[in-house]
Structure 1
Amino acid sequence: MTEALKNDRFLRALRREPTDTTPLWVMRQAGRYLPEYRATRGRAGSFMALAQNPELACEVTLQPLERFELDAAILFSDILTIPDAMGLGLSFAQGEGPQFAHPVRTRADIERLGVPDMEGELRYVMDAVRLIRRELHGRVPLIGFSGSPWTLACYMVEGHGSRDFAHLKAMTWNEPALAHQLLDTLARSVAAYLIAQAHAGAQALMVFDTWGGLLGPAAFQEFSLRYMAQVVEALKSDAASRELPVILFSKGAGQHLARMADTGCAALGVDWTIDLADARQAVAGRVALQGNLDPAVLLAGPEVIRREVRRVLDSYGNHPGHVFNLGHGITPEVNPEHVKVLVDEVHSYGRQLRG
């Protein structure tokens, strides 16, 4: 695991150090928009079979790096591995997204939950991290990740995807102590999961708070941010994870960037609903920023993509501490050639900005 990195732009940017150009990676860069991914998933037979096979997870993690000059790889997995390891029976119905056979709705359900064994039920994730690090040969850094405690709880209580996750939101109002008990168990689980990924070879860690934006300002701080801060604090207590930069990404929560920076994370992901200049002002240089092109721009033509890339880069300006990314995950309808236009323009215009 000591092989020197050939490209450390991404990690330098997270440390707010100068880079020769703006580094980038793309959320869901290994996914259904790539024909080679679809072929590998077809061989696996299902999404879960693919995610739980370290060799195939490694294969799809590396696929986008063969096409594009990306500055980081991200572990191919799913945010719901932790609740699946807790015995909730995760499955993916065609066209319907994730479902749990055993949602948690009662005090007894929640009291039965415990932190999973990271080298037991979740060993397949750690084996994938170890294998990907070996196969990267120091080409770019590897990002490990988890869903946030709030986002995991949304799916676990609802039992499936939702627009509003009303069951968990009702719990926060009617039984707040029970919601806190669930979120504390999940925060300890997420921290253990990310620490295990750090020991397995991850070089940066990211927390996806996909549904934090559903909460009002006070509820966001109480039920989402509080537990992300608990995770960051736990990561700083371990010798392996304390050395790694942590990125927090809370979709739809741009108004909370200043408070999120207070957690001690290295960087904040930013969705496309806030201008990067405003985000920079909000965090006052305390953390790096990652983002924030609207994923739908990749459905437009090459000239539009180049124009919008330049707009995002101009918004951040010629300052250290920016990792270019989409404001959310790439969608399956995107033409891979449009991603190449994106990658090439970010690197080309990023060099121009640096003079």
Structure 2
Amino acid sequence: MVPGKGPVFPNPLVTPEDIQKLNATPDVSKELGYVFEAITLTRHKLEGKVPLIGFSGAPWTLMSYMIEGSGSTTFSKSRFWVYRYPEESKKLLSILTDVIVKYLVGQAKAGAQLLQVFESHGGFLDEPIFDDFSLFYLRRIASEVKQHLVSEDITPVPMTVFAKGAHYAVESLAQTEYDVIGLDWTMDPEKARNTAQKYNKSLQGNLDPAALYGSCESIAQRTTEMIRKFGGRGHIANLGHGMHPDMEPGHLNAFVEAVHKSSEELIQKQ
């Protein structure tokens, strides 16, 4: 993790032959055991005050970092793979899916109470490509994580999927085994709510993170309007993506306070 740049892969994948250099079947408990220990420790320290959310990047998003070497404005190299090397891309996505399933199962067993899968680069794909190179593997993750937990007599935890920019995929995602569909700030909550209700799904989101640059008064106003659009039920209030490093912590507090106030008012009306 490079400050100001984010995740960086010093040896990105250049050709499909580079897949052979990867350890396709790592011991997840050994390699990522420190994450599970941190989750258990955090869960104990929280003492039940707030729920603990675990997460992972989704296969396509991780694949794009592995090929680009870091973030990108176009992700042209990874999209090149999808079109030029479709079968090899699917092989890599399948390898990643297998590891992600084990990783999320481990997080749930360690104490995570909800799991979120981030397809942060989903919006770089058109709908048919998204279906084949993202949705297929997202669907596998939700199904297999829950199957593994049940097989170990562990009650499956709720799961959220967040495909940033993939407006067209809300209904497709609602038909998977995810319990919650995350929306970015460009998506219409009212339209998504109509879709989610058909499939008994909840929604999460979606205030524009840049709104936190505004005054506390404007944050409260925008948050209240957002919650109104979501309807107050079956909704996890959240930003439409992450906070930026230069944001005022107090402005996040204004968002949280506005969520509490607006939610209470909606409940009283209902």
Q: Paired residue for 1:294?
A: 208
Residue 109 (structure 1) aligns with: 18
Q: CA deviation at 1:242?
A: 5.5
CA contact (8 A) 2:60 2:122 kept: yes
Greater RCO between the two (CA within 8 Å, min separation 6)? 1
Query: Which amino acid is the alignment partner of residue 222 of structure 1?
Result: D
Q: Contact between 2:104 and 2:115, CA under 8 Å: does it hold in 1?
A: yes
Instruction: Tell me if structure 1 keeps the 8 A contact 2:105–2:149.
Output: no
- Look up the match of 1:29: none
Which of 83, 89, 104 is equivalent to 1:179? 89
CA–CA distance in 2 between the matches of 1:337 and 1:143?
Answer: 22
State the alpha-carbon separation in 1 of the partners of residues 249 and 70 from structure 2. Answer: 30
Q: Which residue of 2 aligns with 1:324?
A: 237
Q: Which residues of 2 match residues 158-307 of structure 1 at below 5 A?
A: 158-239=68-149, 243-285=156-198, 286-307=200-221
Structure 2 residue matching 1:264: 3-state secondary structure: coil
Shift, 1:177, TM fit: 0.2
- Given the alignment, which residue of 40, 45, 49 partners 1:139? 49
Q: Aligned letter for 1:174?
A: R
The alignment partner of 2:12 has SS state of coil
Equivalent AA in structure 1 for residue 13 of structure 2? V
Superposed counterparts of 1:325-344, under 5 Å? 325-344=238-257
CA deviations 1:282-313 (Å, max 9, x no partner) are 22342100001000111001111111011101
Residue 124 of structure 1: how far off its partner (Å): 1.0
Q: Deviations over 1:244-296 (max 9, x none)?
A: 00000010112210000111100011011112111111223421000010001
Contact 2:16 2:85 in 1 (8 A): no
Secondary structure in 1 matching 2:38: helix
Partner of 1:43: none
What CA deviation, in whole Å up to 9, does each residue of 1:8-40 have, x standing for no partner?
xxxxxxxxxxxxxxxxxxxxxxxxxxxxxxxxx
3-state DSSP of counterpart to 2:53: strand
| Cα deviation digits, residues 149-178 of structure 1 (max 9, x gap) | 000000001111111111111111111000
Provide the rounded CA distance (Å) in 1 between the counterparts of 2:119 and 2:49.
Answer: 28
Q: Distance in 2 between matches of 1:325 and 1:153?
A: 26
Q: 2:32 aligns with which of 122, 125, 129?
A: 122
Does structure 1 residue 315 correspond to structure 2 residue 225? no
Pair 1:97–1:243, CA change in 2 (3 A): closer
Q: Give the Cα–Cα distance (whole angstroms) in 2 for the partners of residues 94 and 284 of structure 1.
A: 41
Quote the Cα distance in structure 1 between the aligned partners of 2:265 and 2:27: 48
Letter in 1 for 2:207: L
Distance in structure 2 (CA, Å) of the matches to 1:209 and 1:229 = 12
| CA spacing shift, 1:111–1:292, aligned 2, 3 Å | same
TM-score with structure 1 setting the length? 0.72
Equivalent residue number for residue 264 of structure 2? 351
Aligned CA-pair RMSD: 1.4
Matched, 1:93 2:2: yes
Superposed, 1:53-68 pairs within 5 Å as none
Counterpart-to-counterpart distance in 2, 1:233 and 1:117:
21
**Structure 1: gaps spanning 5 or more residues:** 1-91
How far apart are residue 121 of structure 1 and its match? Answer: 1.3
Q: Is the 8 A contact 1:116 1:122 kept in 2?
A: no
How far did 1:338 drift? 1.1
Q: Distance in 2 between matches of 1:126 and 1:332?
A: 26
Q: Using the alignment, how far apart are the partners of 2:76 and 2:205 within structure 1?
A: 29
Name the counterpart of 1:157: 67
Write the distance in 2 (CA, Å) between the matches of 1:239 and 1:187. Answer: 16
Contact 2:174 2:195 in 1 (8 A): no
Cα separation, 1, equivalents of 2:25 and 2:183: 30
Tell me the equivalent position of 1:65: none
Q: Does the C-alpha gap of structure 1 residues 244 and 307 become closer, same or farther in structure 2, counting only changes over 3 Å?
A: same
Amino acid at match of 2:43: R
Contact residue 269 and residue 290 of structure 1 kept, 8 A:
yes
Q: Could you say which residue in structure 2 is the equivalent of 1:46?
A: none
- Equivalent residue for 2:58? 148
